[in-house]
Amino acid sequence: MSNDDYRPLSNALVDSWETWNSFRMLCDHHSQLVVALDIKRVLPPENSLKRWFGEPVTAAILDTEIFLTKARGNTLYLPKRHQKLIADLFHLDTRIVISEIKVPTSAQSAAGSKSQPLLAYWSQVSNIYKQRDPVSEQERSEFYTRDILQPSLRPSRNYSHAISYDDHEKDLVKYLHYEIAISRALLERVPDERASVIATVLVVVGAGRGRLVHASLKAAERTGRKLRVYAVEKNPQTVIALDELIRANNWDNTVSVVSSDVRDWSAPERADILVSDFLGSFGDNELSPESLDAAQRFLEKDGISIPSSYTSFLQPLTAPKLYQEAKARKDILHSESACLVNLHNVARLTPSQQVFTFSHPKCSDNQSNQRYQKLEFRIPTDTGSAMVHGFAGYFNATLYKSVLFGTEPSTMTPNLNTWLPMFFPLRTPICVHRGSILEVHFWRCVDSRKVWYEWCVTSPSSSPIHNCNGRSCWMDL
Ligand SMILES: C[S@@+](CC[C@H](N)C(=O)[O-])C[C@H]1O[C@@H](n2cnc3c(N)ncnc32)[C@H](O)[C@@H]1O
């Protein structure tokens, strides 16, 4: 059967996901409701099948009739799509049940055992299990955080704990990208013949415990350029660790530690390069635009900001587990607070789309950091109907020219571990039908004290505006 032949809404075939969805709705999304999938020989199209990856599928039943026998040798095998489906289900920790409805005699002889007629089937399934990619150390460590809503960082508050730094500093990929970006900027700024004469003034804004200072010094060494570094950090406890690092490595001649909020600092000279990491999981959600606006006061007219731009992305999700988690709190705060989530048991319904872009340095001081964006996500026709429980948020950043990194799924940087995706929930899930448009509005709002997002859906049905006036989640300025 081709994808075009598949008509989940026709009388000929019932869309089993819709049956499950009606049942789940009647049970008010009860958290103890789980699914066992009965896998048939004919599978629905890819997008239709993908919806199950957002559901609590605890078991999949494989009828022995799904297995095919090779013409020669009576060897059993599973069709390619079934193999992939089972591998994906293993990823969700789904149990596979082999159902012995009718074991053909040929298969029994292939297995070579009449007493254990399911052995040959079992060995096919266990081969798929063994062929999975090995679980990385990172994945192992993240196992217990899967699909758990974690409050997103409020930059002015959370960076007082050493643990926030410990986690971030393990990300070697992030610091390597910064080192490469700084190297390229230094090479373009200072020609070889002037390398021994010119010292580039580099300010690390929000230096933390010094990993970006270290990356900058490594870039200077790599390119043979001279540097004068100011490491500006507002958290007094962190400044102690930063100071110790500088002294322990005898970097005092090159690096000056500045214990100050960048907004209050009077720089003794103009900077050629600003290096910062105020990026959040949604790009601008840790106040990178506001912090870098403040730093631009002391940047040379032709100065460089690393990162030079960043863009946020949104993607509609089926995520009943996250919805149940927020709903269980029984308050509006949890049902409209953007959180960080290690997304696992979710279905990504369409490709993601760009939301807001910020570039630095800004061309004009008057450019506002408020934003509004309307997005239209088309649900693929071969998906069938689906439930939207909220939106995943990602970002991509340009550090310098071609040096990029990010978390947007189609272009994500492998092993970039600092950032989990964001999740923007919907207070009430919205049902979308195949081929329909999901129209979403997103605002970045700013007042004198805080920055916050508001969001709503206006098609196929309207939701209330979430997080009005930043009543549930915001970032303090
Ligand atoms: C995400 S951490 C990055 C730390 C470090 N740059 C790194 O990448 O390892 C952001 C740091 O910026 C500091 N910070 C935030 N806002 C600041 C501001 N307005 N002025 C100075 N430091 C700031 C925080 O205290 C925190 O140490």
CATH number for the domain spanning 96: value is: 3.20.20.150
Task: Report pLDDT for 114.
Answer: 59
Task: Report pLDDT for 364.
Answer: 84
Ligand 1: atom nearest CA of 262 is 20
Distance 204 CA to ligand 1 centre (A): 9
**R_g of the chain, CA atoms, integer Å:** 27
Quick check: CB of 385 below 6 Å from ligand 1?
no
* Main-chain phi, psi angles of 4, to 5 degrees: -70, -25
| Ligand 1 mutation pick, 156, 159, 209, max ligand atoms within 8 A of CB | 159
Shared-domain flag, residues 338 and 272: no
Residue pair 370/357 in contact (Cβ under 8 Å)? The answer is: no
| Ligand 1 mutation pick, 277, 416, 420, max ligand atoms within 8 A of CB | 277
Shared-domain flag, residues 242 and 320: no
Q: Tell me which residue has its CA closest to atom 23 in ligand 1.
A: 206
Domain boundary among 109, 133, 157: 133
Q: Which of 223-237, 326-340, 435-449 shows the lowest mean pLDDT across its residues?
A: 326-340
Domain boundary among 133, 163, 189: 133
Ligand 1: atom nearest CA of 211 is 9
Shared-domain flag, residues 73 and 20: yes
Q: What is the pLDDT averaged over residues 355-384?
A: 95
Q: Which residues of 177-205 are buried (b: 16+ CB within 10 A; e: fewer)?
A: bbbbbbbbbbbebbeeeebeeeebbbbbb
Q: Is the pLDDT of residue 5 over 50?
A: no
Residue for token pair 């939207």: 388
Mean confidence (pLDDT) of the chain: 91
- Whether residue 195 lies inside any domain: the answer is yes
Higher pLDDT, 152 or 433: 433
Q: Tell me which residue has its CA closest to atom 14 in ligand 1.
A: 206
- Whether residue 162 lies inside any domain: the answer is no
Q: Tell me which residue has its CA closest to atom 15 in ligand 1.
A: 206
Ligand 1: atom nearest CA of 232 is 21
Write the ipTM: 0.99
165 is in an annotated binding site: yes
DSSP string computed for 302-333 = EEEEES-EEEEEEEEEE-HHHHHHHHHT-SHH
Shared-domain flag, residues 129 and 269: no
- Whether residue 102 lies inside any domain: the answer is yes
Quick check: CB of 208 below 6 Å from ligand 1?
yes
Distance 233 CA to ligand 1 centre (A): 6
Q: Alpha-carbon torsion 396, 444, 462, 319, what sign?
A: positive
Q: Is the pLDDT of residue 390 over 80?
A: yes
Quick check: CB of 161 below 6 Å from ligand 1?
no
Q: Tell me which residue has its CA closest to atom 13 in ligand 1.
A: 206
Q: Tell me which residue has its CA closest to atom 9 in ligand 1.
A: 211
Q: Tell me which residue has its CA closest to atom 10 in ligand 1.
A: 206
174 is in an annotated binding site: yes
- Whether residue 450 lies inside any domain: the answer is yes
Give the tokens for residue 355.
């939301």
Shared-domain flag, residues 340 and 467: yes
Number of domains in the chain: 3
Burial of 12 per CB tally in 10 Å (0-12, 13-18, 19+): exposed
Quick check: CB of 78 below 6 Å from ligand 1?
no
% of the chain at pLDDT higher than 90: 78
Distance 290 CA to ligand 1 centre (A): 13
For 304-341, write each residue's pLDDT tens digit. Answer: 999 999 999 999 999 999 999 998 888 888 899 999 99
* pLDDT confidence tier of residue 108, bands split at 50, 70 and 90: low
Shared-domain flag, residues 273 and 176: yes
Ligand 1: atom nearest CA of 275 is 6
Residue 236, domain CATH? 3.40.50.150
Residue 395, domain CATH? 2.70.160.11
Shared-domain flag, residues 345 and 418: yes
Shared-domain flag, residues 318 and 249: no
Domain boundary among 133, 150, 180: 133
For 118-165, write each residue's pLDDT tens digit. Answer: 888 999 999 999 998 888 888 888 888 999 999 875 665 555 566 678
Shared-domain flag, residues 326 and 271: no
Shared-domain flag, residues 364 and 436: yes
Task: Report pLDDT for 193.
Answer: 96
Give the domain range for residue 451.
Answer: 312-476
Shared-domain flag, residues 316 and 272: no
- Whether residue 453 lies inside any domain: the answer is yes
Q: Which of 72-86, 243-257, 462-476 shows the lowest mean pLDDT across its residues?
A: 72-86
- Whether residue 160 lies inside any domain: the answer is no
Shared-domain flag, residues 347 and 423: yes
Give the tokens for residue 350.
């369409």
175 is in an annotated binding site: yes
Element (H, E) at 390: strand 386-400
- Whether residue 459 lies inside any domain: the answer is yes
As a whole number of angstroms, the distance between CA 178 and CA 246 comes to 19
Question: Does residue 191 have a cis peptide bond before it, meaning omega lies within 30 degrees of 0?
Answer: no
Quick check: CB of 295 below 6 Å from ligand 1?
no
Q: Is the pLDDT of residue 69 over 60?
A: yes
Quick check: CB of 147 below 6 Å from ligand 1?
no
DSSP 8-state code for residue 466:
B
Quick check: CB of 233 below 6 Å from ligand 1?
yes
Distance 206 CA to ligand 1 centre (A): 3
